[in-house]
Structure 1
């Protein structure tokens, strides 16, 4: 059975709500997922233990990764993710020039470390509405179809 991890950073609860919906979509396929809040200080080296990796973060200010994610992001430089399937999601505010830039920053880091990004990053404006929650669940379902099922 494939192992999936979802690590997220959420300040206002928006990204956590997205994470919960993505996990629900994954669980519909009888696949287990480990969810970790970045505030629980996971080590990036643990990513190597998983077949599927999903990272989620809100964008801080005008396009920055949240401070909570910085140490983990830097630690990723020491992790080989070749062959791992990955996807990224996050919340942001179109008021800023760089909407949901954290999604793009994390996607680039995963690619740089060798991961195969199997889906375009999912971006949600501020608080997820009903349609956004459904999109998050579908994101989880699609992640399984594009990563775990094809590798089983």
Structure 2
């Protein structure tokens, strides 16, 4: 089908779990998924251009801020033209804070400013995904796949 880059930052494992659920759907549909984490892998923003679609997940730090390991990536987006690139943003948050899932929304705003073809929903889960959230993640993956297929003419 195509090649997808899955990037994520996860402190407690919640965002990682979301990434795994989404990846399972993509692989079942025949996509090749390369997974990288912000804290362990070197990520060059130019890499985004090598994929049919990109999914970026992050937890929100403190009151909705980007985690430090995502900050450089966020800033380096200035160095790449991602106009029309299909990108999905997801993450976990804690509804205790005023800015629930703020980091995922910051990334989504940034991708929109850069002209990406963003999945309309910014998928944000309160803490650990429950059964309903698992279904939301699966549905999100389906929407992402349709957008990639429409863009790439598959």
**Which TM-score band applies after superposition, normalised by the shorter structure?**
over 0.9
Q: Does structure 2 conserve the Cα–Cα contact (< 8 Å) formed by 1:82 and 1:113?
A: yes
Cα distance between partner residues in 2 of 1:85 and 1:113: 12
Q: Secondary structure at the match of 1:98?
A: coil
Structure 1: give runs of 5+ residues left out of the alignment: none
Q: How many residues align?
A: 152
Q: Secondary structure at the match of 1:42?
A: coil
Task: Tell me: CA distance 1:81–1:150, structure 2 relative to 1, closer, same or farther (3 Å).
Answer: closer
Which residue does 1:58 correspond to in 2?
Answer: 59
Answering whether residue 87 of structure 2 is matched by residue 74 of structure 1, we say: no
Detail structure 1 runs of 4+ shifted over 4 Å in the superposition: none
Answering whether residue 2 of structure 2 is matched by residue 33 of structure 1, we say: no
Cα distance between partner residues in 2 of 1:96 and 1:148: 37
Which residue does 1:6 correspond to in 2?
Answer: 6
TM-score scaled by length of structure 1: 0.94
The more displaced of 89-98 and 108-117 is: 108-117
Q: Secondary structure at the match of 1:63?
A: coil
Cα distance between partner residues in 2 of 1:145 and 1:83: 15
Cα distance between partner residues in 2 of 1:68 and 1:148: 31
Which residue does 2:97 correspond to in 1?
Answer: 96
Residues 56-108 of structure 1 deviation map (CA, whole Å, 9 limit, x = unaligned): 00000111011110111111110100121111000001110000011111111
* Cα deviation, residue 143, structure 1: 0.7
Q: Does structure 1 conserve the Cα–Cα contact (< 8 Å) formed by 2:119 and 2:143?
A: no
Residues 97-136 of structure 1 deviation map (CA, whole Å, 9 limit, x = unaligned): 0000111111111112221113311010001112212221
Q: Does structure 2 conserve the Cα–Cα contact (< 8 Å) formed by 1:86 and 1:118?
A: yes
